[in-house]
Amino acid sequence: MKTNVLRGPLIKSAIVLIIFSLLVYLTAAQPGGNVWSALGTIIVGIFRTIQFAIGLLIGVAVCLAVLIGIFLGAVAIFDRSSASRMYEGLRHAFAEQMQGLLVAMAAEKKKEPEQPMIEEISTKLKSALDAAVISARRELATVREELGSRVKALSSRLSAVEESMESAVTGEEMEKVTADVVGVNETVAGLEQGLKQVQAELAGLTAQLAELTPDRLLGDLPGRLAALEEREIPEAVDLNPLQEQVAVLQAEIVEIRQSVESLVPATMEAPEVEAGKPAAADDGKKGRAAANMEEKKGGGEHRLFSYFDDPADREKLADLVGSTLKKDMTYAQVIDFLVDRMGPELGQIITDHPSLAKDYIRQRRRSA
């Protein structure tokens, strides 16, 4: 406040001092000059200075306008939209600068009397803004708490659903793996039996091949031919029939060896051909064999029936499994059906022995 009050008198004092110095200088510098001529010279100088400043401002403005016009024209050659956007931005910036200058000039005139009013308005605005900020912060804290509680509830629900899904998927996977392991074990047992048979047949064929020698087939025929050739026969003997017989025997030996060699790879490929057959046929044969063995051992009852003491329960279980044979149901669906129909206690026995239940269902399907 004190600086603004003293600034005006200081400026006025400086202007008066400058004018007085110029009057003294101009009066002393000119021999016939006086105060009035000095004042006229000062006024003319001030007027010319104002003219020069106005002309300089006009020239600078015209030069800037020409340069800006050239630049905008060059930009418009390539992109008119960019040039128009640049022109609008320049116009708005110039208008804002002029408006700010006018506001500053008007504020400079009314600065002293409006200062208390501005301070009062700023104080009221600050208090209103502080109250609004405090209320907004309270509302934001409330919203954050509500969102946090909702997010926690959703997270707990999601984790529970994921755990239930993982447990369900794990049970199904274990059932599938158990069924696959049983099938693989049966396939491996069949392959081992087939391999033993092939090895036995291969050993027999190898022994037969070792016994088939030219000496054994021909006997002493070469010696007889040599003896006949060494004898002195008075009459010529035709050896062509004997040579033809020898050639025929040698050809038969070659054919026998080729047939034996062709039988060896065929017997080696027999397990692969049997493994490539439909798994249902192989499983059917093995299931029927297992059923026959079980019938011989335990009177036709499956191992699952050993957990049921009452014959009526066994008969009911067999009837329920038989009713599902013509339906397109999976093992899990059949087991759920049996557990539902057999009751909680007997159903718990089936639930505790899923592999035996699947094996019995598979046996009944194969026998059907």
Phi first, then psi, for residue 32 (nearest 5°) are: -100, 20
> In this predicted structure, what is the pLDDT of residue 54?
94
Distance of CA 49 to the CA centre of its chain: 78
* Whether the Cβ atoms of residue 302 and residue 356 lie closer than 8 Å to each other: yes
77-97 pLDDT tens trace: 988 888 888 889 888 888 888
Over 80: is that where the pLDDT of 99 sits? yes
Distance (Å, whole) CA 314 – CA 320 = 10
Q: Can you tell me the mean pLDDT for 177-197?
A: 74
Average pLDDT along the chain: 74
Q: Can you tell me the mean pLDDT for 257-277?
A: 52
Reported for 87-93, long-range contacts at CB under 8 A and 24+ positions apart, including other chains, are none
What percentage of the chain exceeds 90 in pLDDT?
A: 8
Distance (Å, whole) CA 105 – CA 100 = 9
Per-residue confidence band for 18, with pLDDT thresholds at 50, 70 and 90: confident
Over 80: is that where the pLDDT of 237 sits? no
Q: Which of 41-45, 161-165, 228-232 is the most confident on average? A: 41-45
DSSP string spanning 95-127? HHHHHHHHHHHHHHHTHHHHHHHHHHHHHHHHH
Give me the sign of the Cα torsion angle 198, 201, 207, 209. negative
CB atoms within 10 A of CB 36: 10
Look at 118 and 44; give whichever has higher pLDDT: 44
Distance (Å, whole) CA 259 – CA 52 = 126
> In this predicted structure, what is the pLDDT of residue 102?
84
> In this predicted structure, what is the pLDDT of residue 19?
76
* Whether the Cβ atoms of residue 279 and residue 195 lie closer than 8 Å to each other: no
CB atoms within 10 A of CB 292: 12
Structure tokens at 296: 């011989």
23-40 pLDDT tens trace: 776 666 666 666 677 777
> In this predicted structure, what is the pLDDT of residue 155?
79
pTM surpassing 0.95?
no
Per-residue confidence band for 291, with pLDDT thresholds at 50, 70 and 90: very low
DSSP string spanning 232-290? --SS----HHHHHHHHHHHHHHHHHHHHHHHHHHHHHHHHHHHHHS-HHHHHHHHHHHH
Give me the sign of the Cα torsion angle 243, 247, 248, 250. positive
136-153 pLDDT tens trace: 777 777 877 887 888 888
Q: Can you tell me the mean pLDDT for 324-349?
A: 89
Distance (Å, whole) CA 10 – CA 7 = 5
> In this predicted structure, what is the pLDDT of residue 300?
56
Distance (Å, whole) CA 362 – CA 352 = 18
Closest C-alpha among 331, 346, 363 to residue 178: 331
> In this predicted structure, what is the pLDDT of residue 290?
42
Over 50: is that where the pLDDT of 259 sits? yes
Over 90: is that where the pLDDT of 58 sits? yes
Look at 189 and 129; give whichever has higher pLDDT: 189
Per-residue confidence band for 50, with pLDDT thresholds at 50, 70 and 90: very high
Look at 64 and 165; give whichever has higher pLDDT: 64
Q: Can you tell me the mean pLDDT for 249-264?
A: 71
